[in-house]
């Protein structure tokens, strides 16, 4: 039991890197880590910590594009999915980061997200493909600029 609790606090640096990748800001990342660990106690499991991180991120740091779109009154249509949370892209990004940074399986990520394991398989495949294409495109643009 002590080792499990120690493991939760030993990955704080990784949680900070995850928070930075999700928020894009050192200040917001630090705040997200503090919120995530604020209630972590002696019996907090890694799974509970990841669930807490996801919940804190979506409740405090994520932009709900649908609400933002509706507030602006913009007439342009964005290809938004019909999702109750409106966070497909961020959830997919978080799933890929959980898999790659913490070596979580799609079943473990599905449990954290409260989603179907088959959906997680698809999200991981699509997310990795999408992020690889973005990295490739950015590196090509950098080569052209030289």
**pLDDT tens readout for residues 75-87:** 444 333 334 445 7
Res. 13: pLDDT tops 70: yes
The full set of domains in the chain, from first to last, is 1-61 (no CATH), 64-146 (1.10.10)
Q: What are the phi and psi torsion angles at 24 (to 5°)?
A: 75, 15
Give the dihedral sign, CA 103/108/113/117. positive
pLDDT (mean) for 1-8: 59
Predicted confidence (pLDDT) per residue in 109-141, tens digit: 999 999 899 999 999 999 988 877 776 666 555
Whole-model pTM: value is 0.74
pLDDT (mean) for 94-110: 94
C-alpha of 46 from chain center: 15
- What percent of the chain lies above the pLDDT cut of 70? 71
pLDDT recorded at residue 142? 55
CA–CA dist 131, 79 (Å, integer): 19
Q: Among 85, 8, 22, which Cα is nearest to 50's?
A: 8
Would you give the DSSP letter of residue 108? H
Q: What is the mean pLDDT of the chain?
A: 79
Other C-beta atoms closer than 10 Å to the C-beta of 89 total: 14
Alpha helices in 12-105 (DSSP H): 12-23, 26-38, 46-60, 65-72, 88-102
pLDDT (mean) for 50-79: 66
Query: What pLDDT band is residue 26 in, cutting at 50, 70 and 90?
Result: very high
Other C-beta atoms closer than 10 Å to the C-beta of 30 total: 14
- What percent of the chain lies above the pLDDT cut of 90? 51
Write down the residue that tokens 């109750």 correspond to: 84
């Amino acid at each position: 039991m002590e080792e499990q609790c120690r493991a939760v606090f030993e990955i704080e640096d990784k949680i900070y890197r995850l928070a930075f990748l999700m928020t894009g800001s050192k200040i917001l990342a630090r705040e997200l880590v503090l919120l995530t660990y604020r209630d972590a106690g002696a019996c907090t499991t890694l799974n509970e910590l990841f669930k807490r991180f996801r919940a804190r991120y979506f409740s405090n740091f994520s932009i709900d594009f649908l609400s933002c779109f509706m507030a602006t009154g913009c007439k342009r249509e964005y290809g938004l999915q019909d999702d109750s949370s409106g966070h497909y892209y961020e959830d997919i990004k978080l799933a890929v980061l959980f898999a790659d940074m913490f070596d979580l399986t799609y079943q473990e990520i599905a449990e954290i997200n409260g989603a179907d394991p088959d959906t997680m398989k698809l999200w991981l495949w699509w997310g990795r493909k999408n992020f690889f294409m973005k990295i490739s495109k950015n590196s090509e643009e950098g080569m052209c600029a030289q």
